[in-house]
Amino acid sequence: MKLRDLVAEFGLTVKTGAGQLDNEVTGGYASDLLSDVLAHAEDGNIWVTLHIHHNIVAVAAHTGLAGIVLIQGRVPDQDTIAKAEEEGIPIMVSDLSAFELVGRLYKAGIRGAEAL
Amino acid sequence: MVLRRFKADLHVHTCLSPCSCLDMSPREVVSAALQNGMDLIGVCDHNSAENVLAVKKAGSRNGLMVLGGMEVTSSEEAHLLVFFDDDDDLLDFQKFVYQNLAGKNDGHSFGLQVIADDEDGVSGFCDRLLIGATSLTAESITAKARAAKGASLVIAAHVDREAFSIIGQLGFIPESLVLDALEISANTNLADAKKRFPDCENYPVITGSDAHTPKDIGKRFTCFTLEDGTVAEIKKALAGRDGRKAEC
């Protein structure tokens, strides 16, 4: 599944990285601790978080994530947007809560690791 | 005993912090601090103190007092500013942090981590993942700092921010956590912080710039009334002892 399929299916607002929507999504990860994402998220994962700090971009770039989805209509900081554009990291926004969004992504076929 | 006022910016990064501007070399930090009217600065890079001695040396040559410290990331991803009067205490604390900090830096994603000497020569690069979080809880960080031989200070950094603040991460400050002060960022003022964060009524509050570029050093500062620019004196000021004061 590609990012663009998720954007269409869940009505995500694309804030950055509009040119990278062909990124293949290999699975999902949900966490609000950046150190945990660095340690456990996998290449090609889509990351569901409420974090809007610009460090999310570095974490996504380093981990090779397919993209970041911010929940609850959160607005990324200006420097987060600038850095994400520079690094080509897609940031998308959903109005849903984390629980609801992850549930729907799972139903659409996106899976996470069962044990870490 | 003569007490005098010190303009102090206790939250200054150097080029060792991956997110910092490479211009933040020891001499540049000192000259920008003096130019911006500071009497005293605190050097606190993320999870490392490898540039502290160089900035102290450059500071003492130019009449700027420099406190050695570190901005430690706890396992809860809260930032704590930790300072020591004694350099050996600081280096011992650094060893403790390094033992509990995993990962290697990726300069492209996170930025370079330059170790500099007091003449601004590059003496090396720190290859640890300084942007990462330690596996140390906030409580174990304060306990280690307090066990130092000389005076130490632990201040919760930028508590008004959402990311990396102890209030942002934990919701409120646990009663069991012993802090000397809370720091508020340039995004707020004391009256506003007290309204938004009840914890600010229960602790002394200071402010600092969190400068990552030379021009930001001293943008926010705290006025201390002290006998000398030391951690022990600032500790007294935060506790309101012996005529010492802290005003932000």
Whether B197 contacts chain A with CB within 8 A = no
Nearest by CB: A55 against B75, B103, B131: B131
- Which residues, other chains included, contact A21 with Cβ-Cβ below 8 Å and sequence gap of 6+? A2, A3, A4, A7, A14, A90
A36/chain B closest Cα distance in angstroms: 9
- State mean pLDDT over B69-88: 97
In whole angstroms, how far apart are CA B36 and each of B30, B177, B221, B223?
10, 34, 10, 14
| pLDDT > 90? residue A47 | yes
Distance of CA A107 to the CA centre of its chain: 17
Cα angle at B44 between B41 and B48, to 5 degrees? 145
Instruction: Give the residue from chain A lying closest to B101, CA to CA.
Output: A35
| pLDDT > 90? residue B47 | yes
Cβ contacts (< 8 Å) between A34 and chain B: which residues? 77, 133
| pLDDT > 90? residue B54 | yes
Whether A14 contacts chain B with CB within 8 A = no
Provide the mean pLDDT of chain B: 97
In whole angstroms, how far apart are CA B43 and each of A61, B61, B70?
29, 16, 7
Whether B243 contacts chain A with CB within 8 A = no
Q: How many residues does chain B have?
A: 248
Whether B187 contacts chain A with CB within 8 A = no
Torsion of CA B111, B112, B118, B124, to 10 degrees: 160
pLDDT in tens, B131-152: 999 999 999 999 999 999 999 9
Residue B176: per-residue pLDDT: 87
Cβ contacts (< 8 Å) between A33 and chain B: which residues? 77, 133
B137/chain A closest Cα distance in angstroms: 14
Residue A77: per-residue pLDDT: 87
B88/chain A closest Cα distance in angstroms: 29
Are the beta carbons of A38 and B162 separated by less than 8 Å? no
Confidence of residue A35 (pLDDT cuts 50, 70, 90): confident
pLDDT in tens, B186-234: 999 999 999 999 999 999 999 999 999 999 999 999 999 999 999 999 9
β-bridge mates for residue B83, sequence order: B69, B153
Provide the mean pLDDT of chain A: 95
In whole angstroms, how far apart are CA B134 and each of B103, B115, B154?
10, 20, 16
B230 closest CA partner among B46, B42, B55: B42
pLDDT in tens, A56-113: 999 999 999 999 999 999 999 898 999 999 999 999 999 999 999 999 999 999 999 9
Whether A62 contacts chain B with CB within 8 A = yes
pLDDT in tens, B159-189: 999 899 999 888 889 888 999 999 999 999 9
Cβ contacts (< 8 Å) between B19 and chain A: which residues? 55
| pLDDT > 90? residue A53 | no
CB A72 within 8 A of CB A95: yes
Residue B175: per-residue pLDDT: 86
Are the beta carbons of A38 and B132 separated by less than 8 Å? yes
Residue B1: per-residue pLDDT: 79
Dihedral over Cα of A113, A46, A97, A37: its sign? positive
Confidence of residue A10 (pLDDT cuts 50, 70, 90): very high
Cβ contacts (< 8 Å) between B132 and chain A: which residues? 35, 38
- Which residues, other chains included, contact A45 with Cβ-Cβ below 8 Å and sequence gap of 6+? A25, A26, A27, A28, A29, A63, A65, A66
Q: Which of residues 61-90 of B touch A (CB under 8 A)?
A: 73, 75, 77
Neighbour-count burial of B80, counting CB atoms closer than 10 A to its CB (0-12 exposed, 13-18 middle, 19+ buried) = buried
Whether A35 contacts chain B with CB within 8 A = yes
Phi, psi for residue B153 in degrees, rounded to 5: -135, 140
Instruction: Give the residue from chain A lying closest to B110, CA to CA.
Output: A58
B12 closest CA partner among B2, B1, B20: B20
Phi-psi region of B120 (alpha: psi -120 to 50; beta: other; left: phi over 0): left
DSSP code of residue A5: H
Give the whole-angstrom CA distance, residue B210 versus residue B141: 20
Cα angle at B150 between B149 and B152, to 5 degrees? 110
Are the beta carbons of A35 and B164 separated by less than 8 Å? no
SS (H, E, C) B23-76: CCCHHHHHHHHHHCCCCEEEEEEECECCCHHHHHHHHHHHCCEEEEEEEEECCC
Strands laid side by side in the A27-30 sheet: A13-16, A91-93, A67-70, A45-49, A27-30
Give the whole-angstrom CA distance, residue B85 versus residue B208: 19
Nearest by CB: A35 against B109, B110, B133: B133
Residue type (1 letter), A41: A
A8/chain B closest Cα distance in angstroms: 29
